[in-house]
Amino acid sequence: MSSVDQLNFSVPRRTLLVTGGAGFIGANFVHHWCTNYPEDRVIVLDALTYAGNRSNLAHWEGKENFQFIQGDICDRSLVDQILQTEAIDTIAHFAAESHVDRSILGPAAFVQTNVIGTFTLLEAFLQHWRAKEQPEHFRFLHVSTDEVYGSLNTDDQPFTESTPYAPNSPYSASKAGSDHLVRAYYHTYKLPTIITNCSNNYGPYQFPEKLIPLMCINCLLGKQLPVYGDGQNIRDWLYVGDHCTALDLVIHQGLPGETYNIGGNNEVKNIDLVQMLCQLMDELAVDLPIRPSQELITFVQDRPGHDRRYAIDASKIATQLGWTPAVTVTEGLRHTVKWYLMHRSWWKSLLSKQYQEYYNKVYLS
């Protein structure tokens, strides 16, 4: 769905530590990197929480340039050992607790992984970089979110890299805390860190709790499609393949100490997005228990503190690195719906008792 044809530069060989590589964006990034840079080495460190799924990486298991390590980014001695023995020069840091609704139910894990975990990686990478005499090509890419900027009104300008931070949920507050630490390690120690703040991703391998997979799966199961509040909240949808192409450019050409916003240029109201998904389901799925799918749409109690609108101004990465998103929301949603239709055993295996308990807490209590 997206291409690296635009990535026309000479590429030094890298050894990457990809944290959270068994999650949604991390797995897509590993596929992108291993496909496009087969001479690089990719080491995945992932704790395999409920959101991590080693089978997402099955294609690369056993390949010479790929290794999977199960472990926690908060485990300093493990991180030290990996950095040294694998001679890591680049960290692509995706590992996080990532779901806003879970952060409302239980924020502690978010502070632990997102803040303490990022701090642990920074400390370990700083020591490693100094021990190697501070090579110029080392990079620490911190993958963050547009939610750190808070919520926009309908008429507000989109978020730029200089929009003040105003996080509203425990999730976004923990990501904001991690961003500040990453920024400080560049400012204070000149550790070559880069931060990216992206909008809502969608595409293959996204865990069923997030809006788009949840709606696709519920259509196929004939369950209600729960739209929070009045459904007028707006998100800026970014196809995950486009996000990976942007991160690729940032690693190869981004400047240490900089922040880059990455957005899909696809602002859509939630209710409109759910309607689009229903239409795609009606067209592409032969075995829907309820048809038309929009009969399943149910307005439910709003998420506490629900941010109204996110929108990204991605002009900095466009002008400085030449990146623009290639996939429209129409194309990306069609591709994504087809993926969930063709990978039923993938998502069925994730609908565990534990997931059902979470679901009941959010939607039935």
Active-site residue list: 146-147, 171
Residue whose C-alpha is closest to residue 28's, from 2, 62, 67, 65:
2
Show the tokens assigned to 40: 């690089």
196 binds ligand DAU (CB under 6 A): no
The partner in contact with residue 211, picked from ligand NAD, ligand DAU, none with C-beta cut-offs of 5 to 8 angstroms by kind, is ligand DAU
246 binds ligand DAU (CB under 6 A): no
Cβ–Cβ under 8 Å, residues 45 and 15: no
Residue with nearest beta carbon to ligand DAU:
145
The partner in contact with residue 228, picked from ligand DAU, ligand NAD, none with C-beta cut-offs of 5 to 8 angstroms by kind, is ligand DAU
CB nearer to ligand DAU: give 118 or 199.
Answer: 199
Show the tokens assigned to 2: 């997206």
Stretch that binds ligand DAU, among 48-56, 209-217, 283-291, 331-339 (CB under 6 A): 209-217
CB nearer to ligand DAU: give 32 or 243.
Answer: 243
According to CB under 6 A, which one of 23, 208, 226, 254 is a site residue for ligand DAU?
A: 226
CB nearer to ligand DAU: give 4 or 109.
Answer: 109
CB nearer to ligand NAD: give 40 or 146.
Answer: 146
Residue with nearest beta carbon to ligand NAD:
23
Task: Count the alpha carbons within 13 Å of 230 in the hemisphere toward its beta carbon.
Answer: 6
According to CB under 6 A, which one of 173, 216, 227, 278 is a site residue for ligand DAU?
A: 227
CB nearer to ligand NAD: give 150 or 296.
Answer: 150
Which residues in 19-50 are b (16+ Cβ under 10 Å) and which e?
bbbbbbbbbbbbbbbbeebeebbbbbbbbebe
Residue whose C-alpha is closest to residue 140's, from 173, 178, 170:
178
**Beta partners for 159?**
312
146 binds ligand DAU (CB under 6 A): yes
98 binds ligand DAU (CB under 6 A): yes
Residue whose C-alpha is closest to residue 122's, from 189, 167, 175:
189
Chain residues binding ligand NAD by CB under 6 A are 19-20, 22-26, 46-49, 51-52, 72-74, 94-96, 98, 113, 117, 143, 145, 175, 198, 200-201, 207
3-class secondary structure, 91: strand
199 binds ligand DAU (CB under 6 A): yes
Nearest distance from residue 198's CB to ligand NAD, in Å?
A: 5
Own/partner contacts of 302-307, CB < 8 Å, gap of 24 or more, are 302/228, 302/229, 302/230, 303/100, 303/101, 303/104, 303/228, 303/229, 304/104, 305/104, 305/168, 305/169, 306/228, 306/229, 306/233, 307/147, 307/150, 307/151, 307/168, 307/169, 307/233
Stretch that binds ligand DAU, among 62-70, 140-148, 254-262, 331-339 (CB under 6 A): 140-148
Distance in angstroms (rounded) separating the CA atoms of residues 359 and 351: 10
Stretch that binds ligand DAU, among 14-22, 82-90, 112-120, 144-152 (CB under 6 A): 144-152
Residue that the structure tokens 């409109």 belong to = 272
Stretch that binds ligand DAU, among 75-83, 134-142, 226-234, 344-352 (CB under 6 A): 226-234
CB atoms near residue 226 (< 10 Å): 20
Residue 208 phi/psi, 5° resolution?
A: -60, -15
Q: Which amino acid is at 116?
A: I
The partner in contact with residue 22, picked from ligand DAU, ligand NAD, none with C-beta cut-offs of 5 to 8 angstroms by kind, is ligand NAD
Cβ–Cβ under 8 Å, residues 99 and 109: no
Show the tokens assigned to 46: 């992932």
CB nearer to ligand DAU: give 191 or 227.
Answer: 227
According to CB under 6 A, which one of 28, 103, 145, 245 is a site residue for ligand DAU?
A: 145
Residues that bind ligand DAU (CB under 6 A): 98-100, 145-147, 199-200, 210-211, 214, 226-228, 233, 235, 270, 303, 310
